[in-house]
Amino acid sequence: MWLPTSANGESSGGGGAAGLGLVQRRLHLDATLLGMLLLLSTVGLVVLYSAFGESLVQVERQLIRLAIAFAVMVVLAQFPPLVYRRWAPWVYAASLALLVAVLVAGELGGGARRWLDLGVVRFQPSEFMKIALPLLVAWLLADRELPPGFGRTMLALLLIALPVGLIAVQPDLGTSILVAAAGGSVLFLAGLRWRIMAGLLALLAAAAPMLWYFGMQGYQRQRVLTFLDPERDPLGAGYNIIQSKIAIGSGGLYGKGWLNGTQAHLDFIPERHTDFVFAVLAEEFGFIGVLLVLALYFAVVARGLWIAHHAQDSFGRLLAGGLALTFFVYFFVNIGMVSGLLPVVGLPLPLISFGGSSLVTLLAAFGILMSIHTHRRLWSS
C-alpha cells in the first residue's frame, strides 16, 4: 500500500537530479534536509575537535552517536505518517507514565531527578516528550475541523501543561521549555485564536511572580538574577556568561582561526563542549562563521516549514510545522543564552554540542518530518 510510486509532478526542491530523487523515493529521505543536517553535524565535529583540545577520542565518540542518531532517523522516515497518527495517543500516554515513574523512582543526578534506570539502559523520559507531545496535539486537533473550538483548545492546553509541569519539577527547565514549544507551536499553527494567546500571555505574566517565589529553585532564581547582572557573581554563576561573551566578542569579524581560540583552550569557558560550544565556534570562526552557521540553521527551519506547507493533510502540516518550530526554539534559546540574550537554562546546541540522548530525539524528529514529506503522493493517489 505504501510502495513508492513513480515520481510525477516532482515539485520539491532538491529532487531534480535523478540520484537525489532516488534517495527520496527509495529511502524516503529528504535529500535537501539530509544534506543540511550532515553539514551541521560536520561543523559540530570540527568545532568539538578544537573544544576537546585536539583529542580525537571524544570526536570519535560523537561520531558514533551521530551514526546511531542518523540511523534512527532513516528508520523512522520509513513509516508513513498514518502510523504516527495512529500511535500518537499511545506514545503520549506511555511517555507521560514514564515521566511520572521518573519522579517516583528516578535516579538522582546533580540534584535533579531525570533518569530512569532499567538495568540495561539509562534514559531520560523527558526526551520522548519532545516528539510525543507534538504528535498528540497534531492528532487531537487534526481530528476535527480547524481552527479548534474553545473546549478542544483547553483540552490541548491541559495535555501540554501536564508533561511540561512534570519536566519542570525534575527540575529541567531547558527541556520543559522545548517541550512547551513543541506542543505550543502545533496549537499555534492550528489557528489558536489571537485573543486566547493574548490571554495566555497575560496569565503567564501574572503567574511569573508566583513562580519566582514558589515554583523556582534557589539556583534557578540565581540564574535569572545573574542573567540580569552577570557582574554580581563574577567567579560563580556569572562567570560562564562573562567568559562566553569575551570568547564570542574577541572572535571579531573573521575569528581567531580553527584551534586558535584562546578562551576556549585556556579553560576559561566552562562546559565548552556541551552547552557553551557556540562560544568556541564564534571565537574561532568569527562573525562570518556565525552567520554561515545561522544561515544553515535557518535553512533547516525553512525547509521544515516548507515541508509543512506542502504536506497533504492537516495532521502532516501541523506535525511538520511544529517539529520545525521546535528546532528553531532549540538553537535560538541556546545561542541566546550563550550570547547573554537569554538566561542560562541548560540546553545543548543542536547537532553541534557533545552529547547523545538529545541527538537521537533530534534526528528522530527529522525522520518523522522526512516521512511526512516523502509519503505525500501515496495519499493523493
Q: Please check whether residue 58 is in contact with residue 350, taking contact to mean a CB–CB distance below 8 angstroms.
A: no
State the minimum distance, in angstroms, from the CB of residue 283 to another protein.
Answer: 8
Three cell numbers, residue 94: 506511555
Contacts of 71 (CB under 8 A, 6+ apart): none
Distance CA 118, CA 56 (A): 31
Distance CA 194, CA 200 (A): 10
Q: Which stretch binds another protein (CB under 8 A): 13-21, 93-101, 110-118, 181-189?
A: 181-189
Neighbours of 108 (CB within 10 A): 9
Contacts of 186 (CB under 8 A, 6+ apart): 134, 137, 138, 141, 318, 319, 321, 322
Contacts of 213 (CB under 8 A, 6+ apart): none
Q: Residue 290, interface with another protein (CB under 8 A)?
A: yes
CA 245 to chain centre: 23
Q: Name which of 146 and 378 has its Cβ closer to another protein.
A: 146
Q: Residue 120, interface with another protein (CB under 8 A)?
A: no
Query: Which of 20, 189, 349, 363 forms a contact with another protein (CB under 8 A)?
Result: 189
Q: Residue 183, interface with another protein (CB under 8 A)?
A: no
Q: Name which of 114 and 303 has its Cβ closer to another protein.
A: 303
Q: Residue 60, interface with another protein (CB under 8 A)?
A: no
Q: Residue 180, interface with another protein (CB under 8 A)?
A: no
Query: Which of 28, 130, 152, 317 forms a contact with another protein (CB under 8 A)?
Result: 317
Q: Residue 54, interface with another protein (CB under 8 A)?
A: yes
Q: Which of residues 124-153 bind another protein (CB under 8 A)?
A: 144-147
Query: Which of 29, 66, 178, 190 forms a contact with another protein (CB under 8 A)?
Result: 190
State the minimum distance, in angstroms, from the CB of residue 322 to another protein.
Answer: 10
Q: Please check whether residue 175 is in contact with residue 163, taking contact to mean a CB–CB distance below 8 angstroms.
A: no
Size of the site for another protein (CB under 8 A): 58
Query: Which of 10, 107, 117, 267 forms a contact with another protein (CB under 8 A)?
Result: 267
Q: Residue 170, interface with another protein (CB under 8 A)?
A: no
Q: Please check whether residue 172 is in contact with residue 114, taking contact to mean a CB–CB distance below 8 angstroms.
A: yes
Query: Which of 64, 154, 266, 292 forms a contact with another protein (CB under 8 A)?
Result: 266
In which element (H, E) is residue 112 found? strand 112-117
Q: Residue 258, interface with another protein (CB under 8 A)?
A: no
Q: Name which of 27 and 302 has its Cβ closer to another protein.
A: 302
Distance CA 376, CA 30 (A): 12
First CA to last CA distance, the chain: 11
State the minimum distance, in angstroms, from the CB of residue 301 to another protein.
Answer: 6
How many Cα atoms are found within 13 Å in the side-chain-facing hemisphere of 77? 25
Q: Residue 212, interface with another protein (CB under 8 A)?
A: no
Q: Which of residues 4-43 bind another protein (CB under 8 A)?
A: none
Q: Which of residues 228-257 bind another protein (CB under 8 A)?
A: 243, 245-253, 256
Distance CA 336, CA 182 (A): 18
Sheet containing strand 122-123, strands side by side:
107-109, 112-117, 122-123
State the minimum distance, in angstroms, from the CB of residue 163 to another protein.
Answer: 22
- Applying CB under 8 A, the residues found at the interface with another protein are 53-55, 57-58, 144-147, 185, 188-191, 243, 245-253, 256, 259-260, 262-263, 265-268, 282, 286-287, 290-291, 294, 298, 301-302, 305, 308-309, 313-314, 317-318, 321, 325, 328, 332, 335-336, 339-341
